[in-house]
């Protein structure tokens, strides 16, 4: 168990970026712990078909709107998923050491973490839906 002194702090997030040859959006996080001399980077990948579309269908059973509204909705939801994935990774100790890390989609070898991602989705479902309604107008 980590002490409060070494709590993870997110300094900056950039993205989403569309990865070439992969069906993912990625976000670059700059993270810091008080026990580290310098921050370091983590790339978080959100699988479009396995994570984004799954949660989008669960959030809004029928997804409507213009292409621009669809894009904004995907950006809001993929960022939320990336943030949840960072929380899961931190709780699982995947970000305990200071090294460059790529956090892959929670499928295949990391599929055991998908249930934790689902739990965070269920807990934050209403606020995310409200943000989408407010910003996108759907």
Per-residue pLDDT, 112: 96
Q: Tally the residues of the chain.
A: 138
Measured between alpha carbons, how far is 40 from 112 in angstroms, rounded to an integer?
A: 26
Per-residue pLDDT, 63: 73
CB 84 within 8 A of CB 121: yes
Q: Are strands 24-32 and 40-47 parallel, antiparallel or unpaired?
A: antiparallel
**What token pair was written down for 66?**
């213009």
- Residue 73 pLDDT exceeds 80: yes
Per-residue pLDDT, 100: 65
Give the residue-averaged pLDDT of 16-34.
94
What torsion, rounded to 10 degrees, do the Cα atoms 25, 94, 36, 8 define?
Answer: 70
Taking CA atoms, 129 is separated from 4, 22, 87, in Å, by 31, 27, 20
Model's pTM, two decimal places? 0.92
5 falls in which pLDDT band (50, 70, 90)? low
Per-residue pLDDT, 1: 45
- Residue 127 pLDDT exceeds 90: yes
């Amino acid at each position: 168990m980590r002490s409060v002194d070494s709590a993870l702090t997110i300094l900056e997030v950039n993205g989403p970026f569309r990865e070439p040859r992969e069906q993912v959006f990625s976000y670059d996080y700059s993270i810091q712990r008080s026990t580290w001399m310098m921050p370091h980077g983590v790339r978080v990948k959100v699988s479009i078909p396995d994570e984004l579309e799954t949660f989008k269908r669960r959030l809004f059973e029928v997804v409507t709107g213009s292409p621009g509204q669809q894009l904004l909705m995907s950006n809001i939801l993929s960022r939320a998923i990336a943030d949840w994935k960072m929380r899961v990774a931190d709780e699982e100790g995947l970000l305990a050491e200071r090294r460059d890390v790529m956090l892959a989609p929670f499928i295949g070898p990391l599929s055991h973490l998908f249930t934790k991602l689902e739990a965070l989705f269920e807990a934050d479902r209403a606020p995310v839906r409200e943000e989408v309604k407010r910003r996108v107008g759907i």
